[in-house]
Structure 1
Amino acid sequence: MTRARLDELRLAFLLLSRIPVGRLRDPAPELGSSAWAWPIVGAVVGFGAGLVGTALMSAGAPAMMAAFLALGTSCLLTGALHEDGLADVADGFGGGHGRARKLEIMRDSRIGSYGAIALILALALRAMGIAVALEHDCAIIALLAISAASRAVMPVTLAMMPPAKAAGLGRKAAQVDRTRAVAAIAIGFVALLPLGGAAAIPIAFGMTLAALLLAGLAFRQIRGQTGDVLGASQQIAEIAAWLVLAVVV
């Protein structure tokens, strides 16, 4: 791997996680150039969460308790970055009237009722999915795969949609090209393959459909994407994956 690719990989970890990877050397790559590596960050986060959940199950913890603690591990490793995006999108889209007001609400660090409800539902659904994987002894593989694949939808969202604001992450990372978006999709899909074709294909379809629906909603609401929309797209795609996995396992 070349120095440029290593720097992009390091940037991906700095952007999407709190995992220490050292400082970037000058000149630092553009944010969008790291998009191909976002699923790799997800794989590492999912692997760590899967180890925690599996260890707790092996120690005799109930599946739901182990699942919530695995989920907590994931949030710690990412700084709850994507969860924050989901809450902001729910508050903005649910409570705002007009594009400008919706964007203003999404910038507000305070959480409202729509955001709180969205977080509760998202965490509960994800924990239930992880519990199913723990009970079927496939939690590490499932968490790694789904965490990776759900982060592959973000580069595609960036490549497909214009930024909704003149500043912010969505604008800074908007230079994602199709090559990097395709690379992210490829890495995300390969990560799903250990689950088996009977699970990987419907999960990929479910995640794609969920991400497209959210992208369509975001375009209608604010005419584009923001960093919060990207985080919400990861969360929605992950929830869709766990729902499909719970049906097919």
Structure 2
Amino acid sequence: MLDEHWRQLFGHAEEWIKEAGKLIKQSFQNEITIQFKTNFSDLVTNIDKQVEQFLTSNIHKAYPDHRVLGEEGFGDFIESSEGTVWIIDPIDGTTNFVNQQRHFAISVAIYHHGAGKIGMIYDVVADEFYHCLKGEGAYLNGVKLPQLKEKKLSQSLIGLNATWVTKNRRIDPAVLAPLVNAARGIRSYGSAAIEIAYVASGRLDGYISMRLSPWDFAAGMLLIDEVGGKITRINGESINLFEQNSVFVANPFIHEEILHNFILPKFDKK
């Protein structure tokens, strides 16, 4: 159980995230500025930047000794996990935000000396607020999520982008292609934070991506831990919180089935 300090901190974070959500909704009526980062599908908007600046400013003002790791670079230069670190994605699913004005989320995680304390994912348009405080379970809009129950792969929905079962630079498509046929269905929502939250709530049973940054998964992995799920790299190794990782998150029962029957027999750990 976390002490009053962390509960107060959670209250501030929730207030700022909800306010940031209002700022995003207000932007729907305005023209947005779009820039490309690494390629034409890797987008950032003026709203991403404004939201991260809003959150970072509030954090630094209220907690000057805390550090912020943010996707858009308005936080601090993080070299170690020492102290209290906030890991922020102002809009996870920017392409969805630009094209659909839905299926994107604000993701905020708070770690202390490398240990996760608070995780929050806010699906702004759906008004769904996932949160957890370490050791107290995970919640969706104040309702506690149950522990994940045993399930078979043939009954499961897996979050998987088509990129990873077509020609790409990160994995042989033959590794994951058989999984498409073995699962009940494959879904792709375009937001890692939302898809990991969906695994925590049982809407999805697994999610795989070959390249995610800390702000994509830092909050979600805390939710997953609270409901008894499992999150690793694609080859089953532990995730490094402050690096890009492949991410494989799932109901613990199908995690082992997928890992040992579909991935490890073909996957080169190197």
TM-score band, normalised by shorter chain: 0.3 to 0.5
The answer to which structure has the higher strand fraction is 2
The TM-score with structure 1 as length reference comes to 0.34
If asked which structure has higher relative contact order (CA below 8 Å, sep 6+), I would say 1
The TM-score with structure 2 as length reference comes to 0.32
